[in-house]
A and B are shown apart, each in its own frame.
Chain A
Amino acid sequence: MAETLPSPPPGPAGAWAEFRGIVRAQENDQTISALEYEAYPAMAEREIRRLLEEIAVRHPCLATTVIHRIGIVPVGETAVYVGVAAKHRGAAFALLAEFMDRLKQDVPIWKRRSLPAAPTAIPLPVNSLRVPPAGQPMAIPVSLAEAMAEIYERSKPLPPMPVSLEEACGRILRQPVCAPEDMPSCDRSTRDGYAILQNDAQNEFRIVDVVHAADWKPRQLQSGEAARVATGAALPCGGLCVVMQENVERKGDAIKILRRETVLNLRRRGEEAKAGEPLLQTGMRLDPGKLALLASAGCAQPLVSPRLRVLHFTTGDEIIPPGKIPQPGQVRDSNSILIRSLLQKFSGTVESAHLPEDFEKAKAEISNFKFQISNADVVLVSGGASVGEKDFTRSLLAWLRFEIVFSQVNIRPGKPLIFGTNGNRVAFGLPGNPLSHFVCFHFAVATALAKLTGESAPKFLRGRLSAPFVDAACARETLWPAQLGPAGLRPLPWASAGDVTSFATANALLRIPARCDSLESGTEVDFLPAGDMLDA
Chain B
Amino acid sequence: MRVLFFAQLKDVTGCDSMELTINEPLNSDQLWVALLVKFPALAKHRASVRLACNSEYAGPQTQFNQADEAALIPPVSGG
A68 touches B73 (CB 8 A): no
Q: How far is the CA of A105 from the CA of B79 in the complex (A)?
A: 10
Contact B77 A40 (CB under 8 A): no
- Shortest Cβ distance from B55 into A: residue: A43
Asked if A251 CB lies within 8 Å of chain B CBs, one says no
A44 to B55, CA, bound (A): 8
Distance from B17 Cβ to chain A, minimum over Cβ atoms (Å): 11
User: Any chain B CB within 8 A of the CB of A37?
Assistant: yes
Contacts of A370 in B (CB 8 A): none
Contact A108 B56 (CB under 8 A): no
The complex places the Cα of A79 from the Cα of B52 at a distance, in Å, of 25
- Is there contact, CB below 8 Å, between B77 and A46? no
Closest to A111 in B: B77
Bound-complex Cα distance A105 to B56 (A): 14
Inter-chain contacts of B77 with A (CB < 8 A):
104, 109-111
| 8 A Cβ contacts from B44-79 to A | 52, 55-57, 71, 73-74, 76-79
Supposing A38-B6, A40-B73, A110-B7 touch, asked if A80 and B79 sit within 8 A by C-beta, the answer is yes
CB–CB A39/B78 < 8 A: yes
Question: Is there contact, CB below 8 Å, between A43 and B52?
Answer: yes
B29 to chain A, nearest CB (A): 21
Give Cα A65–Cα B10 distance, bound, in whole angstroms. Answer: 31
Which of B7, B52, B55, B71 sits near A38, CB closer than 8 Å? B7
Which residues of A, 83-139, contact B by the 8 Å Cβ criterion?
A: 100, 103-112
User: Is B4 part of the binding interface, using a Cβ–Cβ cutoff of 8 Å?
Assistant: yes
Tell me, yes or no, whether A145 is within 8 Å of chain B by CB. Answer: no
Interface bits A176-206 vs B (CB < 8 Å: 1, else 0): 0000000000000000000000000000000
Nearest 5 Cβ contacts at the A-B interface:
A109-B78, A43-B55, A110-B7, A111-B77, A42-B55
Q: Judge if A21 is at the interface, Cβ distance under 8 Å.
A: yes
A21's nearest neighbour on chain B, judged by CB, is B79
Distance between A284 CB and nearest chain B CB, rounded to angstroms: 26
Shortest distance between the CB of B58 and any CB in chain A (Å):
12
Query: Shortest CB–CB separation between residue B20 and chain A, in angstroms?
Result: 17
- Contact (Cβ within 8 A) B78 A80: yes
Name 20 A/B residue pairs within 8 A (Cβ), A-sorted. A21-B79, A38-B6, A40-B73, A43-B56, A44-B78, A68-B78, A80-B79, A103-B79, A104-B76, A104-B77, A104-B79, A106-B76, A107-B76, A108-B71, A108-B78, A109-B78, A110-B6, A110-B76, A110-B78, A111-B78
- Looking at A21, A39, A43, the one whose CB has the most chain B CB atoms below 10 A away is A43
Q: Is the CB of B73 within 8 A of A108?
A: yes
Closest to A38 in B: B7
Q: B56 — which chain A residues lie within 8 A by C-beta?
A: 43, 46
CB–CB B4/A107 < 8 A: no
In contact, A112 and B7 (Cβ under 8 angstroms) = yes
B6 cross-chain contacts in A, Cβ below 8 A: 38, 40, 108, 110
Contacts of B4 in A (CB 8 A): 40
- Residue-wise, chain B 24-59 has the 8 Å CB interface mask toward A (1 for contact) of 000000000000000000000000000010011100
The residues of B that contact A111 with a CB separation of less than 8 Å are 77-78
Q: How far is the CA of A42 from the CA of B52 in the complex (A)?
A: 12
Contact A108 B79 (CB under 8 A): no
- Smallest distance from the beta carbon of A20 to chain B beta carbons, Å? 11
CB-CB < 8 A to A112: which residues of B? Answer: 7
- A44 to B7: give the CA distance in the assembly, Å: 14
- Which residue of chain B has its CB nearest to the CB of A104? B79
- Interface contact B79-A100, CB-CB below 8 Å: yes
Report B68 CB to chain A, min CB distance, Å: 13
- Alpha-carbon distance A183/B33, docked complex (angstroms): 51
Contacts of A21 in B (CB 8 A): 79
Taking the closest CB of chain B, its distance from the CB of A74, in whole angstroms, is 16
Residues of A within 8 A of B78 (CB): 37, 39, 44, 68, 79-80, 103-104, 107-111
Among residues of B, the one whose C-beta sits closest to the C-beta of A1 is: B78
By a CB distance below 8 angstroms, the chain A residues around B7 are 38, 110, 112
In the complex where A40-B6, A110-B6, A112-B7 touch, is A79 in contact with B55 (Cβ < 8 A)?
no
Asked whether B79 lies within 8 Å of A79 as measured between CB atoms, the reply is: yes
A39 to B74, CA, bound (A): 11
Complex-state Cα separation, A105 to B77, whole angstroms: 8
Residue numbers in B under 8 Å from A80 (CB-CB): 78-79
Interfacial chain B residues near A103, Cβ < 8 Å: 78-79
A79 to B6, CA, bound (A): 19
